[in-house]
Amino acid sequence: MTEVAVITGASAGIGRATAREFARRGCSIALLARGLEGLEAAAREVEELGGRALVIPTDVADADALERAADQAVKQFGRIDVWVNNAFAGIFSRFMDMSLEEFRRVTDVTFMGQVHGTRAALKHMLSRDSGSIVLVGSALAYRGIPLQSAYCASKHAVQGFLDSLRVELLAQESRVRLAMVQLPGVNTPQFDWIRAHTRGKPKPVGAVYQPEVAARAIWKAAHSSRKEWIVGAPAYQAILGDKLMSPILDRYLARDGIEAQQDAERVRPDRKDNLFEPVPGDHGAHGRFDERARTRSPLLWLSEHRALLAGGAALAAGAAAVLARRKPAKGERD
C-alpha cells in the first residue's frame, strides 16, 4: 500500500529534501508551504522520482488552514500515514533589537506551526489508531545561543510539547507514534532569506550538513518507535555540553557566539526576507555552503544501527569471556 505523507515547509531546504526522500520510496505527498513556485517545483521533483504530489499553499501559523490542508490530503489520497512538521521562521537579532511582532511571528510558525500540524494530523490518525508524526527540532532545543532567542525558545517549547503529548498517547495506548529529530546546522537557503538585524550576513556555526542528511533522519524517525533522533556531532556536542557545563558555555558563547554567526559580507539594506511573506522564486534544497557541507553523518549511521552494534559488542564480550576461561593457568603452562 502506498504511504501517504504530509510535509510542511516543503518548498525549500530540509522540507524539499525530505519530499524527495519520501518520493524515492514511492510515497504520495501533500506539499505544504507559502511559496507557490517552490511548491510546484517540489511537486515536479516528487513525480519525477515516482511519487504523487499534491500542492497546498499554506501558512502553518494558521491552524484552520492546516486543518483544511489535512482534510484535502485525506480527500485526495485517502488517509495520512506520516506528518512531518518541518516549517519554521527565524530572525538573527539581539533580543532588544527585534520587535515583539517579529518575535511572535517566529514562535507562531516554529512552535505553534508544529502544534497546529500535530493537531491536524491527530484528528485523522487517532480515529484510525495509526500514523506517525515527526517534529523537526534542533540542538538548539536544548542549548540556546545568542541572536536566535525566538528560534531557540520555539525549539525548546517543541521539546516540552513532545514530552507531554507522547506521554498522553502512551497513556491511552495509542499506536500513533510521535518522534523528534534534533538537527545541527544544515546547508539550506534559510541563511540568505532569514530576517537579520546584524551587521554581517547570517551563517551557521561549526560543521554543516547537507539537507539530504536531515531528510534521511526524518524518514528514519517516521518509521521507528524511537522518541528522538540526533543528527551530527555538533548536535551531540551542544546537547551534552549544555548538560555538563552550561554556565561555561554561556561565557564561551558570550565571547564568540555573536560574531561566529555572521559572515564578513555585510547585510544589504534591500535584502529580502521571508519572515512575514515568502521570498519569490524556487530556492531549492541547498544553500550557499555546499563546499563545506557534509554529505553524511557517521553518528546517524551508528544511531540507525545501534541494535546491531550492541549485538556485536555482546558477541565480542561473550567470545572474550570464553577465551578467558579457556586460557590455561600459569601452573598449567609451566
The residues assigned a catalytic role are: 151
Indicate the DSSP class of residue 49. Answer: T
CA distance 324 to 327: 5
As a dihedral over the C-alpha atoms of residue 113, residue 115, residue 287, residue 237, rounded to 10 degrees, the angle is 150
**Helices 13-23 and 36-48: crossing angle, nearest 10°?**
20
- Please count the other Cβ atoms lying within 10 Å of the Cβ belonging to residue 105: 20
Structure-block grid coordinates of residue 159: 521539546
- For the chain, how far is it from start to end, CA to CA, in angstroms? 69
| Residues facing residue 6 across a β-bridge | 30, 83
Which string of DSSP letters, residue by residue, matches 208-249?
EE-HHHHHHHHHHHHTS--SEEE-SHHHHHHHHHHHHHHHHH
2 three-state secondary structure = coil
Burial level of 288, CB count in 10 A (0-12/13-18/19+)? middle
Structure-block grid coordinates of residue 45: 521533483
CA distance 138 to 230: 8
Distances (CA, A) of 238 to 99, 160, 248, 300, 329: 28, 18, 12, 16, 49
* Tally of CA atoms within 13 A in the half-sphere of 163 that contains its CB: 6
Pairing assessment for the beta strands 200-202 and 262-266 based on DSSP bridges: antiparallel
Work out the widest C-alpha separation in the chain, in whole angstroms: 86
